[in-house]
Amino acid sequence: MKFGIIGSGSWGTALAKILTDNGHHINWWNRSETAIEQFKKRSHNPQYLSSARFDMNLLNLTSDVNEVIQQSDVLIIVVPSAYIVEVLSTLRKDIFTGKKILSAIKGILPEENVLLNDYLSQNFNVAISDYFAVLGPCHAEEVAAEKLSYLTFSGIDEVTTTAIAHNFKSSYLRTVVNKDIYGVQYAAVLKNIYALGAGIAHGLDYGDNFLSVLIANSADEMAGFLRKAGIINAEVGYIEHKKNTHNQVHNNYAASVYMGDLLVTCYSLYSRNRTFGTMIGKGYSVKNAQLEMSMVAEGYNASKCMFHINNTINADMPIAEMVFKILWQNESAKTGFKTIEESLI
């Protein structure tokens, strides 16, 4: 498989490290020619995860996204969800024909209120059988430090999903495979919203006791949304593995890609969503918090998208709804969390 990466932020850099550590040559898109030249001189990404060094013989760095697509079999899309339409909208409608798409984003496309696979289906005729998602829990900084992490690869084509995942296995990276393409993506979106809530609580000076209750209720709220959205195969306390593989026949909601990703995003100091929420809890305006951070907090746009999506799903989501109101409708964080206090069990 020839891999191409569209996106050069911290997560894109981490995925590039995993693949090149395994000896894969990759085509890698970066919109900045200046950043590319600095990368070539220093053998590391000058803007993100600068501690991760690369064998430059394994990299084809280019600012031409068409070149990356044409020269690759599997395209890893890891652009922040808010900018994906801008990056892809100028491409030919048939450019992904014969390609496999591996989504590494953790958000909803805000212009469309859809997951990436639905956008690609509507605009580029990409079949769901050619679409895959790779999700955490897996902070880019820990990948750079080669700390043991787990990634879940999801796709309805089990054979191809497993083949793609195999290329990422290493001494510091374990892989899990499942078929829950919609469930894992929605879970990844929602956990960012709940991490914003955890950060707001921290900024408001709530303690660990409250935070544990908030996250436990967030987990239940997430599961409720998934069930209402038709994700009926996310079970608790039941795992069935196929012999000699990590492939799960039945998804366990307490497994890494669901509960694990929620926990690390809510608790970790690496979490940009928690950091963003902490600023809001401390009294920063949304605009000032955005200016303070150099990276995108996916949960900000996701909170608005999921609020509108849930108008159709009608799941009971008081925590996610309050995060939306605080970020988008000028609800006081302090007042909003007093309301949340009353809804927790």
**What are the residue ranges spanned by the domains of the chain?**
3-182, 187-343
Please give the pLDDT value at position 19.
98
Confidence class of residue 249 from pLDDT cuts 50, 70 and 90? very low
In the CATH hierarchy, which top-level class contains the domain 3-182? Answer: alpha beta
Q: What sign does the CA torsion over 66, 67, 71, 73 have?
A: negative
Mean pLDDT of the chain: 92
Nearest Cα neighbor of 215 from 127, 137, 301, 320 is 320
User: Is 187-343 the same fold as 3-182?
Assistant: no
Residue 237 has pLDDT above 80, yes or no: no
CA distance 298 to 196: 10
Confidence class of residue 244 from pLDDT cuts 50, 70 and 90? very low
We find that the CATH architecture of domain 187-343 is Orthogonal Bundle (1.10)
- Segment 53-64, tens digit of pLDDT: 999 999 999 999
Torsion of CA 244, 245, 248, 254, to 10 degrees: 100
Please give the pLDDT value at position 234.
58
Residue 242 has pLDDT above 60, yes or no: no
- Segment 110-140, tens digit of pLDDT: 888 999 999 999 999 999 999 999 998 889 9
